[in-house]
Amino acid sequence: MAYNVLYTANATVTGEGRKGFGKTDDDRLAVDLSVPKGLGGDDGVGTNPEQLFAVGYAACFHGALKNVSRQAKANVEGSAIDAQVSLGKSDEGLDIAVELTVTIPGLEQAEAEKLVEAAHQMCPYSRATRGNIEVKLTTKTA
In angstroms, rounded to a whole number, what is the distance separating the alpha carbons of residues 22 and 47?
10
Statement to judge: residues 36 and 62 lie in one domain: no
The residue segments making up the domain with residue 112 are: 49-140
Side by side, the strands of the sheet bearing 93-103 are: 80-90, 93-103, 134-140
Statement to judge: residues 43 and 83 lie in one domain: no
The pLDDT averaged over each successive group of 10 residues in the chain (142 residues) is 90 93 97 92 90 98 98 97 95 94 97 98 97 96 90
Contact 51, 82 (CB under 8 A): no
Residue 42 carries which side chain, given as an amino acid letter? D
Give the chain's domain count. Answer: 2
CATH at 87:
3.30.300.20
For 38, phi and psi rounded to 5 degrees? -60, -15
In angstroms, rounded to a whole number, what is the distance separating the alpha carbons of residues 105 and 2?
38
pLDDT of residue 1: 67
Q: Which helix (H) or strand (E) holds 95?
A: strand 93-103
Residue 65: name the closest of 137, 5, 142 by CA. Answer: 137
Statement to judge: residues 81 and 17 lie in one domain: no
In angstroms, rounded to a whole number, what is the distance separating the alpha carbons of residues 137 and 139?
7
pTM: 0.93
Helix (H, G, I), strand (E, B) or coil at 125: helix
Statement to judge: residues 64 and 31 lie in one domain: no
Size of the chain in residues: 142
CATH at 35:
2.20.25.10
In angstroms, rounded to a whole number, what is the distance separating the alpha carbons of residues 70 and 136?
24
Helix (DSSP H) and strand (DSSP E) numbers for the chain: 3, 6
pLDDT of residue 45: 87
Statement to judge: residues 20 and 67 lie in one domain: no
pLDDT of residue 36: 92
